[in-house]
Structure 1
Amino acid sequence: MTEFSSPNNQELYPLKPIHPWLEHPNHYTPALDRQERELWYDGPNYTADAVIMTRDADPLILLITRRDGSYAVPGGFIDASESTERAAIREAYEETSVNLADTKSSLIFSGVVDDPRATKHAWIETTAFLFSVDKPLPSKAGDDALDTTWCRYSQLPGELYGSHREIIDAAYERHFHLHTLKFPETAVVEKAYGGHMLYHRFFVKHSSSSPQYFVKSHDKVLFSDQSRANHSIQYLEKEALVYEYLRSSSYLFIPTISQSHAPHTITMDAYHPDENWYWRAPKNAAYHNYVEDILSAFYQLETIVPPTNFHENIEPTHILLATEGWGAIHDTTDTVYTSLFAYHHEIPSADTLYSDLTNLRDYALHHPPQPPSVLAHHDARQANIAWHPSHGARLVDWSWTGLATPKSDSTNFLIDLHKHDHDVSRYLDDHFDPIHALTLIGFWIEHSTWPVGNGDNDVRKQQFLSALSAYELFTKTI
């Protein structure tokens, strides 16, 4: 383990060091401006934390109550010449009386953390370890702790000290890999970002010599609403069925390996950017090859005889696009107008869409799409398409798959490219359906008005921007 000697940092920093987060506006908080000093040294102050977690599906986690009343995992400052792991074990024993000396640890985090004692010139850098135990161990508060308690991961208190929620989340992900998915201890796991649904997503190599895979997995512990948990499982089940059906139909533009296994997990080829796979359109001479390969994949999909439905408990996508689009806007016009007006100052071009909304809705009601007749992906965005200059396109995330009108996927794809400032003009005549674009405008506008549970409105903003992109292309082609 790394050794830290905790010297007087004034000797190391003749000029006062600057908190690393001051260079990253997303991390900066006004609390760093305070003058009161609580940390020992200017510069980094090194600590270690112990996340003690039972091996249950919804594990119990040992928390302490600090003297300021907040909940935290046990931890504290590293003594001179003490390893980070040894410091975490010592602090856990001093604050909870739990002896971890013979318990195997897993490193889960090392770096700068949020801490209310930090200033512009002094901060905490912690190293955190996961200690897995079979059952909750007897504990007794000591040292800086006022009390101890074992708490379920799904029922963690809202206010945890500093960055301790993020540290516990990292520990839980490691726990999920080891005890739910049964990954070997030697597995190299990298968190994967993206996607709107609440799944675990990560890249994994079971050993240094094994191929890398992408894993997407449902976890019931992440849900407080059982209906949303069931919804998550159903869409994952549907995606697995789609892969099976497309493979049996000799469709080539899907991952070579796409296996579904309990507990509700899909494993597939990773198509990692490090191996020259693109998950966004290249901004170079390869751009048109990228677009043409992907358009070809969509049209070959349309030649496959579609099943009637992939999952009996999921509403067909073409019906959702109508009922949760212009059909709903007709009943919630005031809400939609209010939502669109909120983008008035941030996105000047929103004014045109705002003023044309009634005309668009009337046009949609008088020009319904033709009956769906071909198979479509229905979420044809760059983020769901891997492309390689030598191997072509691979489409993933098939949970919205269903019947559609021809050119639905190519229309969606061109809208997404235009949204990200790519020139799609040469493809509009042959690959863009303005009526399907109009359907998408209604769906995205209506969804952009929906409340979000976590307070993060970025998904809703992106839906509005997609509607705006579709509107701009619609007005060019209608």
Structure 2
Amino acid sequence: MSETIKTIPGALRCWSASWPEYAPTDVTPAELLPAALAQQVPGWAEAAATPTDVTDWPERQARALISFQVDEHGWPMHPQGRTGRAGRNLGLWGENQAADPIVVAGYGQERRVLLITRSDIEQEAIPGGMVDAHLGETAPAALVRELQEETGVDLRDHTPVILGRDVVDDWRASDHAWVSSTSALYQLPTTVTAIGADDALDANWYEFGSIEQLTAEIEAAGRTLYAAHIPLLTRALDHLAHN
């Protein structure tokens, strides 16, 4: 999403700004188009072909991590404004809640952070994923589940520090479907064995003294740090520096 958002003039980003010629690009994948949904609904997605088919917008607004509005047609509006993208490339219309566990081991010069190689974009990122809200899952439960599924690390007996709840600059987001994440910090005395699984191609521990150090090590390994997670990792570093 970052590349597309940069094409939106700052003065026109806000929904209240008049822009009659605004024509966002539809990013809906084939399996979420109306004709495909009429035949089969993917297990990870809701059946609604458009936001008009969603009947519980007041409830979704009430439980949202980040408040959002709906327009005059009853369609949800990205809380940060226009994105340059239309349609839906996520499971739900409106907010899709995610959980991002930031696992840090060691202290000082020995501090490391656990990252995975995402299978969808093949970049180094925080292990995590979507909250299964339709199954009644909570963000704390999703933090533990996603971490174990993607790295094999089981931290169900650890209590994390919730660092924040934010709209994430996810590459799949659009004007009417986006990701809001609960990020949490887990601190361990030493590293533990981690193996990439599920949606992760790999899992590795990286030096975590600063974002610059982390980026340099990742690039030295011929890989790229997922830009959307840099603010979350920066917040974790700030917390560690002051606690």
> Given the alignment, which residue of 125, 133, 141 partners 2:196?
141
Residue-by-residue CA offset, 1:20-74 (whole Å, 9 max, x unaligned): 111xxxxx6xxx2234632012110001010000131142000000112111111
User: Normalising to structure 2: TM-score of the pair?
Assistant: 0.63
Higher helix residue share? 1
**Do the aligned residues in 2 keep the contact of 1:61 with 1:150 (CA within 8 Å)?**
yes
Task: State the partner residue of 1:20.
Answer: 79
Indicate whether 1:54 and 2:105 are aligned.
yes
Residue 177 (structure 1) shift: 2.2
**Contact 1:113 1:162 survives alignment (8 Å):** no
Q: Which string of whole-angstrom CA distances, capped at 9 and with x for unpartnered residues, describes residues 170-215 of structure 1?
A: 112212222xxxxxxxxxxxxxxxxxxxxxxxxxxxxxxxxxxxxx
1:176 alignment counterpart: 241
**Distance in structure 2 (CA, Å) of the matches to 1:47 and 1:115:** 11
Identify the structure with bigger relative contact order (alpha carbons < 8 Å, sequence gap 6+): 2
Task: Report the equivalent of 2:66.
Answer: none
| Superposition pairs of residues 199-348 of structure 1, within 5 angstroms | none
Number of aligned residue pairs: 165
Q: Is the 8 Å Cα contact of residues 106 and 191 (structure 2) preserved in structure 1?
A: no
Match of residue 160 from structure 1: 225
Q: Does the 8 Å CA contact 1:112/1:125 hold for their aligned counterparts?
A: yes
Question: Identity percentage over the alignment?
Answer: 33
Q: Does 1:120 pair with 2:184?
A: no
Contact map agreement 2:88 2:176 (CA 8 A) in 1? no
Distance in 2 separating the partners of 1:102 and 1:60: 20
Partner of 2:124: 71
Which structure 1 segments of 5+ residues have no match? 1-5, 23-27, 179-478
8 Å contact from structure 1 (residues 96, 139) kept in 2: yes
Q: Secondary structure at the match of 1:93?
A: helix
Number of the residue aligned with 1:84 = 139
SS of corresponding position for 1:165: helix
Q: Highest Rg: 1 or 2? A: 1
- 1 or 2, which has the higher strand percentage? 2
Task: Tell me the equivalent position of 1:151.
Answer: 206
TM-score (norm 1): 0.33
Q: Structure 1: how far apart are the matches of 2:235 and 2:151?
A: 21
- Superposed, 1:22-41 pairs within 5 Å as 22=81, 32-35=83-86, 37-41=88-92
Q: Deviations over 1:238-273 (max 9, x none)?
A: xxxxxxxxxxxxxxxxxxxxxxxxxxxxxxxxxxxx
Tell me the distance in 1 between the aligned counterparts of 2:178 and 2:240.
28
Tell me which amino acid in the other structure corresponds to 2:182.
Answer: T
Please give the alpha-carbon distance, in whole angstroms, between the structure 2 residues aligned to 1:36 and 1:152: 39
Partner of 1:175, secondary structure, is helix
Uncovered stretches (5+) of structure 2, i.e. residues with no partner: 1-44, 58-72
The DSSP-based 3-state class of the residue aligned with 1:132 is: strand
| Aligned equivalents of 2:148, 2:200: Cα separation in 1 | 11
SS at match of 2:150: helix
Letter in 1 for 2:76: P
- How far apart, CA to CA, are the structure 2 residues paired with 1:120 and 1:140? 35
User: RMSD over aligned Cα, in angstroms?
Assistant: 2.1
Q: Distance in 2 between matches of 1:122 and 1:162?
A: 19
Q: Distance in 2 between matches of 1:123 and 1:105?
A: 25
One-letter amino acid of the structure 2 residue matched with residue 71 of structure 1: E
Distance (whole Å) between structure 2 residues aligned to residue 18 and residue 35 of structure 1: 11
Structure 1: how far apart are the matches of 2:55 and 2:87?
21
Deviations 1:338-380 (A, max 9, x none): xxxxxxxxxxxxxxxxxxxxxxxxxxxxxxxxxxxxxxxxxxx
